[in-house]
Amino acid sequence: MDMIDLSAILAAWPTPEREATLKRVLEGLDAACLPLQQALARGSQVSAEPHQVMILKTAESEDGWQARVGVFFTSLVGGCQCADDPTPLEPLPEYAQIEVTIQRDTGMACLRLLD
């Protein structure tokens, strides 16, 4: 699992704003930073459209903070992009649940796709 820097939420950790801050930070990440490609159910590639995050559950531990988030995003069915290609390029709705585990001391986070 790759680690990403979510230290931007450390300042909000002890405040009631931490969930809103986590949502904003995750929505600001490039989709490639999230394990969305593995979650595709309808398309073959994650689209470049912005994704939306919903915080589902959070829990604090001695060394960090864990959140389960729902991510609404879109995918595309890749075709050859030829003029006579009948494959539509309409974005398809997708959804994934991701577990985010953030280390309290560094702000580094591990993101894991849930079933």
Q: How far apart are CA 81 and CA 85, in angstroms?
A: 6
Model pTM score: 0.87
Count of alpha carbons within 13 Å of 85, Cβ hemisphere only?
10
> Which band of pLDDT confidence, cut at 50, 70 and 90, is reported for residue 89?
confident
CA angle 59, 68, 94 (to 5 degrees): 170
The model's confidence at residue 45, banded by pLDDT at 50, 70 and 90, is very high
Output Rg (C-alpha) for the chain, integer angstroms. Answer: 16
Tokens 């470049």 identify what position? 48
Provide mean pLDDT across the span 43-67: 93
Structure tokens at 82: 């030829």
